């Protein structure tokens, strides 16, 4: 098996790296922006990506994209994630657009696809509820027909970027009488509509990136529904599977590679208690194990991309990539904080924080990695059922 990239792929990777070098300001790693500030910083970057059609490189050409394969999208995600580039993941450019291409009406595509491609509008995802996260099919937000509208009531939670979004992709129950998986529909909701209230949730990093959203008698026209009524669960299952792989968002293995490289550099150049950190046997062992796991995880992701590109069902490998990458990132952050001793607790912006406090931040930030897009337990069930054929 030949693991080398083609000459065209190598050229594209070089182009992406040049774009990053030209876009990131000098001293980016020392700017100490929190998640909320990075959201704002990402706006101009999204515009530049739109100009290159890189926000939509994997869209078919008929929708204005470049028709690139997921391999090109993978190269892009590897480079952007490794350099900690803000603005690489966007809810509107990926799951929303994918749903519109697959199930949207011509009018919906005409209204939203162009503005998404040009980074003129932002979408958020309105799925999770206080009592419906891992078991999303238990959601209780209701959408009831009333003349030419649906009237929506309910509460959503942990909605990333909802305070900055123009529109939301919302999952709501449209039939109370059928089994829970069969009574869900997807809607496009104007986040400025009467009855929509967005309240901030401050996360473990101390930033306002997530929110809770309340919907009180929010009226949306009937043509806001995506696809057929009561088919939302099946649409979501397909969309979330691709997102879990990490190809269209944060590439967890590129993130782990960056963490590993940073920690290895710290270990080589730092002495604590009169001894070089890199000579401590437990540090060498844990970093070596992480290096092996990072390469292994990368090939799991590559296999998932290869299956997807060949029209095969990659659901189980997408979940495997999500579990393996998320848990590995947590272990690496834990290793980093441990090897730095008490200094590992210092936050970004603190005078003596090693690596500008990046590892301490990742220690808190990676908690989400085993929860968002389905907990590790949910994804293990997916692997058991879809990959091993085990019963529910």
Number of CB atoms found within 10 A of residue 228's CB: 12
The token pair that represents 109 in the structure block: 């595509």
Query: Comparing C-alpha atoms, which of 289, 264, 257 is closest to residue 339?
Result: 264
Nearest to 221 by CA among 115, 117, 107: 107
Q: Which one of the listed residues 78, 79, 129, 243 is annotated catalytic?
A: 243
- Give CA–CA dist 354/351, Å, rounded: 9
- Phi (first) and psi of residue 326, to 5 degrees: -65, -45
Q: In sequence order, what are the residues at sequence separation of 6 or more whose Cβ sits closer than 8 angstroms to the Cβ of residue 180? A: 137, 138, 173
256: tokens are 């782990």
Listed residue (133, 242, 153, 237) closest to 195, CA to CA: 153
What DSSP line would sit under 298-356, residue for residue?
Answer: HHHHHHHHHHHHTT---HHHHHHHHHHHHHHHHHHHHHHHHHTGGGGGPPTT-TT-GGG
Does 243 qualify as catalytic in the annotation? yes
Q: List residues with catalytic annotation.
A: 243
């Amino acid at each position: 098996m030949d693991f080398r990239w083609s000459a065209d792929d190598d050229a594209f990777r070089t182009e992406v790296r040049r774009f990053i070098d030209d876009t990131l300001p000098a001293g980016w790693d020392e700017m100490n922006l929190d998640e909320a500030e990075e959201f704002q910083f990402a706006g101009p970057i999204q515009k530049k990506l739109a100009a290159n059609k890189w926000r939509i490189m994997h869209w078919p050409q008929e929708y204005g994209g470049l028709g690139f394969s997921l391999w090109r999208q993978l190269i892009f995600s590897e480079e952007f994630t490794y350099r900690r580039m803000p603005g690489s993941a966007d809810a509107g450019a990926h799951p929303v657009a994918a749903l519109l291409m697959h199930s949207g009406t011509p009018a919906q595509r005409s209204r939203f696809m162009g503005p998404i491609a040009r980074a003129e509008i932002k979408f958020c995802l309105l799925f999770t509820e206080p009592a419906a996260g891992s078991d999303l099919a238990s959601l209780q937000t209701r959408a009831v027909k009333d003349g030419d509208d649906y009237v929506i009531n309910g509460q959503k939670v942990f909605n990333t970027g909802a305070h900055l979004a123009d529109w939301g992709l919302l999952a709501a129950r449209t039939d109370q009488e059928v089994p829970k998986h069969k009574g869900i529909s997807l809607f496009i909701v104007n986040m400025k509509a009467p009855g929509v209230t967005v309240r901030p949730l401050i996360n473990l990093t101390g930033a306002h990136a997530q929110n809770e959203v309340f919907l009180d008698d929010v009226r949306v026209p009937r043509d806001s529904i995506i696809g057929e009524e009561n088919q939302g669960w099946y649409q979501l299952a397909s969309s979330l599977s691709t997102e879990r792989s990490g190809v269209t968002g944060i590439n967890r293995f590129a993130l782990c590679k960056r963490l590993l490289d940073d920690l290895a550099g710290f270990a080589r150049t730092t002495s604590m208690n009169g001894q070089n950190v890199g000579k401590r046997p437990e540090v060498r062992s844990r970093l070596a194990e992480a290096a092996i796991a990072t390469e292994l995880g990368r090939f799991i992701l590559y296999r998932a991309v290869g299956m997807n590109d060949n029209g095969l069902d990659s659901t189980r490998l997408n979940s495997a990539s999500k579990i393996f990458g998320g848990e590995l990132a947590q272990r690496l952050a834990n290793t980093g904080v441990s090897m730095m001793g008490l200094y590992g607790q210092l936050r970004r912006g603190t005078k003596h924080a090693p690596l500008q406090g990046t590892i301490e931040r990742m220690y808190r930030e990676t908690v989400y990695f085993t929860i968002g897009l389905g907990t590790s337990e949910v994804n293990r069930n997916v692997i058991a059922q879809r990959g091993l054929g085990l019963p529910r």
